[in-house]
Amino acid sequence: MRFLSSELAARLGGAQVGPDVTVAGASIDTRTVLPGQLYVPIVAERDGHTFIGAALERGAPAYLTAREPVGGTAIVVADTAMSLLGLGVVARERMEGGVIGITGSVGKTTTKDLLRSCLASNYVVAASERSFNNELGLPLTLVNAPDDVEWVVLEMGARGAGHITRLTDVGRPDVGIVTSVAMAHVEFFGDLEGVARAKSELVASLPPTGVAVLNFDDPLVARMASVSPCPVLSYGLGDAEVRAEAVVLDEDLRPRFHLSTPWGPGEVRLGLHGVQQVPNALAAAAAALWCGVPIDGVIAALSTASGSPLRMEVRRVPDGPVLVVDCYNANPASMEAALRSMATLPSGRKLALLGLMAELGSETVPEHLRAAQLAEELGIDVVGFQTDLYGASQVADSDDAVALLRTLHPGDAALVKGSRVARLEEVVQRFEDAAGV
């Protein structure tokens, strides 16, 4: 969106130093800032004020600052991070279109990707990049939306009570999607009830004219209907208004199912991999249908939509195994879904190279052992990557992990999964490089 720097200074309670200029969108990263964007320096591990000069050189016409201006057009504010949230508020007020908020322990990013594709068949759409779901990413998504945007899809994450409320105060969603309540980041919430309370903040924020799109397969999510000030649209594999029936996976783990909705039925073949993508697709379909996308457009979009990298990617290595790469993140729910999907592959040996599932608090040990037990029941060999929490054999480093994967033959399959701290994508890259992929 386009703004005059003087307008932003007035709205943010700042002081403009330098000539009045027009800015188009904003960036907090000088490596990716585009000409015309407002630069917002964030003070974190590094002080973004250090890079104001670089932002000006890359074409930023103005910048926020909590320090002395260093040339160009500056908007002097007390706190740049708080002012970024203020920028999001200003952008949201200017929008004539609607906002969809998505939260949940698992499935947020994929649901966002699928919903963006569904809406794009009929509307001008903007959506959070990658997993930009916090106090920095959410306002940037709003500010960088086109002036004629009709729907903005915002991913909303939380690491504590009140976090989602802070995001909804900025984004003011019309539609709220809750995908799940699961054992993810539970050390920040105490228990699953704490996770549910945090996620329900999105539902409670919705206007009476909106809609809450809830996963009725998850009892803790279904219970959120009681706090919704607006109508509820349910989805799931069971008793729900938007539901999937006769779900099957093909040899590349792509789900097919019959879609039943109040807007009519259809046959869906997802472009994504893994049985866990079915509820994500149902959430996206429910929201898109409510927003006015015809069911044929929804089905077409679901069949072609691609997800974010490192999420249930099925890669076939020439003269080697099938790799199921799902190492963007890991928690017990996503681990179980990945293992169950892996088990359906018509392969020989099945191996799971598993890194740490982080941020599980007191449930760390039992949840890792539960995953290992499930793998054993499914006939999948488990090898821990730099962890003994699975109670199985382990490899100590990337060299040993690559060597392990190289023992696999054509017809075998390997799941590579762990939380971001494990950096298992580096193992995958090294293995594929050695295989000439």
- From 304, 334, 349, give the residue that closes a domain: 304
Element (H, E) at 14: none
Residue 66's CATH number: 3.40.1390.10
Tell me how far the alpha carbon of residue 381 is from its chain's centroid: 29
In SS3 terms, 73-95 reads as EEEECCCHHHHHHHHHHHHHHHC
pTM for this model (two decimals): 0.91
Whether residues 79 and 99 fall in one domain: no
pLDDT tens readout for residues 316-354: 998 899 999 999 889 999 999 999 999 999 879 999 999
Higher pLDDT, 33 or 158: 33
Q: Is residue 89 part of a domain?
A: no
User: pLDDT digit string (tens) for 229-240?
Assistant: 999 999 999 999
Q: Is residue 88 part of a domain?
A: no
CA distances in angstroms from 101 to 211, 227, 251, listed in the order given: 11, 16, 34
Q: Which of 118, 193, 126, 181 is nearest to 155 (CA)?
A: 126
Residue 223 placed within a domain: yes
Distance CA 79, CA 21 (A): 21
Domain count within the chain? 3
Are residues 46 and 127 located together in one domain of the fold?
Answer: no
Assess whether 319 and 283 both reside in one domain.
no
Is residue 154 within 8 A of residue 102, CB to CB? The reply is yes
Q: Is the pLDDT of residue 419 over 70?
A: yes
Does the residue 264 lie in any domain? yes
Residues 298 and 356 in one domain: no
137 plus 51 within the same structural domain = no
Average pLDDT value for residue range 146-162: 93
- What's 135's domain CATH number? 3.40.1190.10
Please tell me the distance from the alpha carbon of residue 147 to that of residue 144, in angstroms, as a whole number: 9
pLDDT at position 187: 67
Q: How far, in Å, CA of 404 to CA of 424, rounded?
A: 13
**Cβ atoms of residues 25 and 126 within 8 Å:** no
Going by DSSP bridges, is the β-strand pair 125-127/98-103 parallel, antiparallel, or unpaired? unpaired
Domain span at residue 216 reads: 95-304
pLDDT at residue 175, as a whole number: 98
Whether 335 is covered by a domain: the verdict is yes
**In percent, how much of the chain has pLDDT > 90?**
87
Q: What is the mean pLDDT of residues 367-390?
A: 97
Do the domain assignments include residue 206? yes
- Asked whether residue 102 is domain-assigned, the answer is yes
How wide is the angle at C-alpha 303 spanned by C-alphas 117 and 261, nearest 5°? Answer: 80
pLDDT, tens digit (0-9, with 9 covering 90-100), for 295-324: 999 999 999 998 888 889 999 998 899 999
Judgement on whether residues 345 and 276 belong to the same structural domain of the protein? no
pLDDT band at 185 (very low <50, low <70, confident <90, very high): low
The half-sphere exposure of 424 on its side-chain side, counting CA atoms within 13 A, is: 33
State residue 131's pLDDT score: 67
CATH code, domain with 392: 3.90.190.20
Bridge-partner residues for 398, per DSSP? none
pLDDT value at residue 418: 96
Across the range 114-135, mean pLDDT stands at 92
- pLDDT > 90? residue 218: yes
Average confidence score pLDDT of the chain? 95
* pLDDT tens digits, 33-91: 999 999 999 999 899 999 999 999 999 999 999 999 999 999 999 999 999 999 999 99
Does the residue 397 lie in any domain?
yes
At 89, list the tokens. Answer: 């508020």
